[in-house]
Amino acid sequence: MEHKLLIVDDDPNILESYSRQLRKICRIDTAQSGQQGIEALVSWGPYAVVMSDYRMPQMDGVEFLANVRQMEPDTVRILNTGHADLETAIAAVNEGNIFRLLTKPCDTPVMVRALKDAFRQYDLVTGEKMLLEITLKGSLKVLSDVLSLTRPEAYGRISRIAPLAQKVSQEVYDLFAWQTSVATFLAFLGFIALPDSLVARKNAGQPLTPEEQTLYERHPQVAAELIDRIPRLEDVAKIVLYQDKHYDGTGFPKDDISGEKIPLGARILKAVLDYDRLAEQGKTGRDALELMAARKGWYDPGILGALEQCLEHAPKSQERFLRADELEPGMILLEDVHTLKDGKKILAGGQVLNETALAAVRRIGQAYGVTEPIKVLQITG
């Protein structure tokens, strides 16, 4: 991929000279002021490297490159300066994380070497970032797939509420919506540590012993401890940990955190999960919201308002009865799916079908057969 370089200097002759000297090694854009440089970043960025003169009117090179760092942290920054400004510029380099300091006039071979080093630095940084993102996405998919196969009821519920959580997140302008989204899909990861009999009785609405209730209430902590071991997911783990925390500070975990100090993603998750529980009990949307509003101190009022707005604009859906080979990703199972041979449940009702679930149905169906037709809900608009 061709590297992009932005050169900023208030002298048009210098910009023309740089463009002639460097056009063979990269793609070049130029700007004659710091403000024009910022506009170039917005319109044509991102750039692998930004090289700026130090002495410019209105906004000097150090201030401009500081703005570049805020706007594009991965962009490598180079500062050009005259000898008279050297001491000031060196201090700026030490304090501003500027990659190279070049003195004017700079010989072409020296500048070319500096730029090639800068391009290599950019490739290293962005390559490592991409690797981390790929690894992170892979880790999340594995965890999600494990939950879908070991606890299909829990995964079914999570996949059902995920679109609603995303809409509420957008409605309240959640700045870290990706964390909320990831936390939603991993909220029940702690279920893998619960006994099958406990989960079955809880899902059936049967009473638990005090010991079992305590064990169940700790599932967010178990999930959070697992997630916290994955780099860059510390905040996601905190959202999962506080998913059952009430806005007034009661609930789990038992600590002094309350109100706005509870992560926004956790406040969203709490409201959406409780709404889904009430809907699963047969409550209409309006009845569920009224019951939630009556639970004083449980929910962030702003989140409840956003939830109501999102429900008013919910998409339409259609019930369908399909063969296993007609199922598609995104459909919601309305009934459990069992094997034809021994009646073993392989997918739980309420689950949003993904590629992993569909592959399991096809694989098990070939070996044992599955009960058909399968009742699903298809979102139509």
CATH of residue 179: 1.10.3210.10
| Cβ atoms of residues 236 and 176 within 8 Å | no
In a domain, 49, yes or no: yes
Bridge partners, 100 (sequence order): 78
Examine the domain organization and report whether 51 and 87 are in the same domain.
Answer: yes
Q: How is the beta sheet containing 317-322 ordered, strand by strand?
A: 317-322, 374-379, 332-333
189 part of a folded domain? yes
CA distances in angstroms from 127 to 114, 121, 123, 131, 299, listed in the order given: 20, 10, 6, 6, 42
Residues 6+ apart with CB under 8 A from 274: 292, 298, 299
Answer whether residue 134 is part of any domain: no
Looking at the fold, whether 175 and 272 belong to one and the same domain comes out as yes
> Contact at 8 Å (CB) between 350 and 156?
yes
Query: Does residue 309 share a domain with residue 319?
Result: no
**3 state DSSP class of 365:** helix
Looking at the structure, tell me whether residues 308 and 176 fall in a common domain: yes
* One domain for residues 55 and 176: no
Residue 117 domain flag: yes
The last residue of one of the domains, among 265, 285, 314, is 314
Do 73 and 103 have their domain in common?
A: yes
Per-residue pLDDT of the chain (381 residues; tens, 9 = 90+): 579 999 999 999 999 999 988 988 899 999 999 999 999 999 998 999 999 998 898 898 888 998 898 888 889 999 988 765 667 667 666 666 788 888 888 888 999 999 999 999 998 888 767 766 676 777 777 777 777 777 777 777 887 788 899 999 999 999 888 889 889 988 998 988 888 888 878 777 788 899 998 999 999 999 999 899 887 789 999 999 999 999 999 999 999 999 999 999 999 999 999 998 898 888 888 899 999 999 999 999 999 999 999 988 766 667 789 988 899 888 888 788 888 878 888 887 767 788 878 888 888 888 888 889 998 878 765
Domains held by the chain: number = 3
Q: Is residue 78 part of a domain?
A: yes
Same domain? For 263 and 308 the reply is yes
266 half-sphere exposure, CB direction, 13 A CA radius: 27
Is the dihedral angle over the CA atoms 197, 210, 158, 280 positive or is it negative? positive
> Are 310 and 320 members of one domain?
no
- For the chain, the straight-line distance linking the first and the last C-alpha, in angstroms and rounded, comes to 40
Domain that holds residue 302: 151-314
Q: Domain boundary residue among 76, 97, 128?
A: 128
Distance of alpha carbon 249 from alpha carbon 271, whole angstroms:
15
Beta-bridge partner residues of 247? none
Three-state SS at 186: helix
Same domain, 261 and 169: yes
Contact in structure between 147 and 191 (CB atoms under 8 Å): yes
User: Could you tell me if 268 and 371 lie in one domain?
Assistant: no
pLDDT at res. 347:
80
Residue 139 lies in a domain: no
Non-local CB neighbours of 338 within 8 Å, separated by 6+ positions: 344, 345, 346, 370, 371
CATH number of the domain bearing residue 367: 3.90.105
Is 140 inside a domain boundary? no
- Contact (CB, 8 A) for 63 and 93: no
Q: Is 137 part of any domain?
A: no
What are the φ/ψ torsions at residue 322 (nearest 5 degrees)?
A: -130, 160
Of 257, 287, 314, the one marking the end of a domain is: 314
DSSP 104: S
Residues 164 and 295 in one domain: yes
Q: Quick one: 258 and 114 in the same domain?
A: no
User: What is the rounded CA–CA span in Å between residue 29 and residue 6?
Assistant: 5
